[in-house]
Amino acid sequence: MTVELTNATKKLCVIGDPVAHSKSPLLHNAMCQALGLDYIYFCQPIPCGQVKRWCECAAFTGCAGFNATMPHKEALVPLMDELDPLAHVCGAVNTVRIQDGKFYGYNTDGMGFLRTLAELGVNPQGKQILLLGAGGAAKAILAALAACGAAKITVCNRTLERAEKLRKIAPDRVAAARWEPQELRKLAEETELLVNCTCLGMEGTNTHFDDLSFLHALPQEAAVCDAIYAPPETELLRRARELGHIGMNGMGMLIWQAVLALKCFTGVAFDEEKAKQAALTALLSETVPSPDMLPCKS
Ligand code: NAP
């Protein structure tokens, strides 16, 4: 993609270590171009432990804001002048706006997930939810689900202590469970929404679910979401769809968190649907599109 620059073009970027794989420059440059916003977005490798130095550089060089990916999301929290409620609850920042030398921290991952869930026609309010995983993605999604009134969220994670730590987000509605096939099957029976936030099935990891038989215990109307977007259809999603469940991959979350981040950066109202379509088109144009690539497919 070609981005036109002027001396007034504002700078945005994504920091991480590693960060070269990030789709954020592609998504943000496509959205800015479609919306006529005079920003350029680039990729900025920042080594672990160097975020404080980076923040000073970013403010000094007039950067308008940045996104953060691993391993910087937690380290940014104490460096912010203000935090939005979800970033505060998660203890992680994925979006920073810099204005008049001040740093405003946001976490748009969880809201991005909720936006794509709404597109699937699923309202998590009052629902029994089973969340697999207790890492960064799980924490952001859990905070958003709790904030929008989920009845009960059970976090099932290989390392039980990590799941237990997440209970503090909403102690009356969040439970922790062991990562055992029998436990998963029992929990699945009561589940209305299943969300995978582990990296099992993710491209390049060579890790897979040993046992997906718990999917058979899900009620027929349960929806199944996978935070993973590469591959576009994981084994978990494929099997869930075969069993007749509506399913969603992580592509919608990836796109919506970027749309919401752009709103934080610019502070202007824009056509969100137009931004989303521009980002989706850019993403699909990078690979050979197939129906499986789409975020939602039943
Ligand atoms: P993370 O913080 O490293 O967490 C990884 C999670 O996977 C942990 O709960 C970990 O369990 C679990 N896990 C890893 N290997 C496992 C195994 N062999 N068996 C069982 N559980 C295992 O990573 P993250 O940032 O949360 O990302 C998790 C997934 O979400 C990734 O696939 C990523 O692509 C996806 N994601 C998507 C988006 C999006 O926009 N769609 C955004 C962020 C992340 P332990 O606690 O026991 O280690």
pLDDT tens per residue, range 63-82: 999 999 999 999 999 999 99
Answer yes or no: 139 catalytic.
Answer: no
Residue 292 in this model has a pLDDT that exceeds 80: no
Decide if pLDDT at 102 tops 80.
yes
Strands 63-68 and 95-99: antiparallel
Do residues 113 and 138 lie in contact, with contact meaning Cβ atoms separated by under 8 Å? no
Q: Is the CB of 258 under 6 A from ligand 1?
A: no
pLDDT above 70 (res 199): yes
Kindly tell me if the per-residue pLDDT of 113 is higher than 70: yes
Residue 282, φ and ψ in degrees, nearest 5:
-65, -40
- Average pLDDT value over all residues in the chain: 94
Ligand 1 pocket, residue 140 CB under 6 Å: no
CA of 79 relative to ligand 1 center, distance in Å: 25
What pLDDT, in 10s, does the model give residues 258-283? 999 999 999 999 999 999 999 999 99
Q: Please indicate whether residue 200, judged by its CB atom, sits closer than 6 Å to ligand 1.
A: yes
Confidence at residue 4, expressed as pLDDT on a 0 to 100 scale:
80
Average pLDDT over residues 95-101: 97
What is the mean pLDDT of the segment spanning 98-110?
Answer: 97
- Note the pLDDT tens digit of each residue in 210-244: 999 999 999 999 999 999 999 999 999 999 999 99
Amino acid letter for position 169: I
Q: Whose CA is nearest to atom 40 of ligand 1?
A: 254
What is the side-by-side order of every strand in the sheet holding 95-99?
Answer: 39-45, 10-16, 63-68, 95-99, 102-106, 82-83
- CA-closest residue to ligand 1 atom 18: 207
* Residues 54, 83: Cα–Cα separation, whole Å: 18
Is the minimum distance from the CB of 165 to ligand 1 under 6 angstroms?
A: no
For a pLDDT cut of 90, what percent of the chain falls above it?
Answer: 91
Model confidence at 293, pLDDT cuts 50, 70, 90, reads low
**Percent of the chain at pLDDT exceeding 70:** 96
The dihedral built from the CA positions of residue 227, 233, 235 and 237, taken in this order, carries a sign that is positive
Q: Indicate the pLDDT class of residue 298, thresholds 50, 70 and 90.
A: very low
- Catalytic: which of 10, 23, 52, 73? 73
Is the pLDDT assigned to residue 290 strictly greater than 80?
no
**44 in Cβ contact with 14 (< 8 Å):** yes
For residue 9, what is the DSSP state?
P
With a cut of 70, say whether residue 89 has pLDDT above it.
yes
- Atom 1 in ligand 1: which residue has the minimum CA distance? 135
Q: How far is the CA of 239 from the centre of ligand 1 (A)?
A: 20
pLDDT at position 296: 58
Compare 204 and 10 and report the one with higher pLDDT: 10
The Cα–Cα gap between 69 and 258 comes to: 12
Q: Which atom of ligand 1 is nearest to the CA of 137?
A: 26
pLDDT in tens, 26-54: 999 999 999 999 999 999 999 999 999 99
Position 287 confidence tier, pLDDT thresholds 50, 70, 90: low
Supply the pLDDT for residue 2. 76
Between CA 283 and CA 37 the distance in angstroms is: 19
Atom number, ligand 1, closest to the C-alpha of residue 249: 41
Q: What is the pLDDT of residue 205?
A: 87
- At 171-194, the pLDDT tens digits run 999 999 999 999 999 999 999 999
Q: What is the pLDDT of residue 294?
A: 62
The CA 174 to ligand 1 mean position distance, Å, reads: 19
Q: Confirm if 261 and 115 have CB atoms less than 8 A apart.
A: no
Average pLDDT over residues 144-170: 97
Q: Which pairs count as long-range contacts for 262-269, CB under 8 Å and 24+ apart, including other chains? A: 262/28, 262/31, 262/32, 262/37, 264/65, 264/95, 264/97, 264/104, 264/106, 264/108, 265/12, 265/39, 265/64, 265/65, 265/95, 265/97, 266/37, 266/39, 267/97, 267/99, 268/37
